[in-house]
Amino acid sequence: MSDDKTIDGTAREVREAARPAAKAVPRRTWVVGAVALPLALGAVGLSLAQGTPFQPTPVAPVAIEALAPSGATAIKGQVAEIFGNKFVVQDGTGRALVETGREGESGGLVAKGETVTVQGRFETGFLHARVLTQGDGRTLLLGPAGGPPTGSLDWAKDRLGLGPKPDMATLTASVQAAGYGDVRVMGRGPRHFEVAAKDRDGREHQLHVGFDGQVRERPAPGLPPL
């Protein structure tokens, strides 16, 4: 009697499990990825600063007693009091309350007694700071950076220097041709600038100026209706 066991050696076909069909990647995803990839990898040789950072038009300070509703005005004086993200500036004519937004929540942006220049939007009794020049000469830009939303395709192009490059002289000429003067650029959107300007009668207006030169009137909070 043999202890050998017979092993069935019949060959059988082993079928590979069916793989799910690959999903087509939308073309827009490839475009966004192609533009954003250098950013994620550090973009050797490409600076994130290539997109021109927005800078508001410099505005000469006025006496505090002369403050009036405006999309872009400025004051200069000493810091008298600090209340969280707000502080009081005083000059020889009066006092003004300045609001600094999120950047000033620590209360450490300025020091009591420091001489500062503040530029921003004045309405409802507050000067909403956009540019703060401190006693030592440092200038801080407060509030949103402006431009396309972070992470969007337009943002990626802007960071790589591939976005639109508006000609400020041409856009200013468009605003002037529409009948406005004293043109001050306050902020930037994806494809437009927010502009403060005055009409021929000296009344303040807030404008939406597209990179294509189109000028549209915007409601101006705190200003009387025309």
Cα–Cα distance measured from residue 182 to residue 196, given in angstroms and rounded to the nearest whole number: 8
- For the chain, the farthest-separated pair of C-alpha atoms sits apart, in whole angstroms, at 122
Cα–Cα distance measured from residue 210 to residue 175, given in angstroms and rounded to the nearest whole number: 10
* DSSP per residue, 98-121: EE-GGGGTTS-SS-TT-EEEEEEE
pTM: 0.67
| 116 pLDDT more than 90 | yes
Who wins on pLDDT, 210 or 31?
Answer: 210
Q: Lowest mean pLDDT: which of 22-26, 158-162, 188-192, 201-205?
A: 22-26
Who wins on pLDDT, 150 or 11?
Answer: 150
Cα–Cα distance measured from residue 103 to residue 106, given in angstroms and rounded to the nearest whole number: 8
In this prediction, residue 219 has a pLDDT band, given cuts at 50, 70 and 90, of: low
Q: Lowest mean pLDDT: which of 10-24, 75-89, 133-147, 151-165?
A: 10-24
CA gyration radius for the chain?
29
pLDDT digits (tens, 9 = 90+) for 147-195: 666 777 776 777 777 777 888 888 899 999 999 999 999 888 888 899 9
| 31 pLDDT more than 90 | no
What's residue 146's pLDDT?
Answer: 66
Is 157 exposed, middle or buried (CB count within 10 Å of its CB: 0-12, 13-18, 19+)? Answer: middle
| 106 pLDDT more than 90 | no
What's residue 223's pLDDT?
Answer: 45
What's residue 35's pLDDT?
Answer: 43
Cα–Cα distance measured from residue 97 to residue 80, given in angstroms and rounded to the nearest whole number: 10
For 188-201, b where at least 16 C-beta lie within 10 A, e where not — what string? bbeebbbbbbeeee
What's residue 148's pLDDT?
Answer: 65
Cα–Cα distance measured from residue 119 to residue 75, given in angstroms and rounded to the nearest whole number: 7
> What's the mean pLDDT when you consider all of the chain?
77
For the ranges 22-31, 34-43, 50-59, 123-132, the one whose mean pLDDT is highest: 123-132
Task: Report the amino acid identity of residue 169.
Answer: A
The helix or strand, by DSSP H or E, that contains position 157, with its residue range, turns out to be: helix 153-159
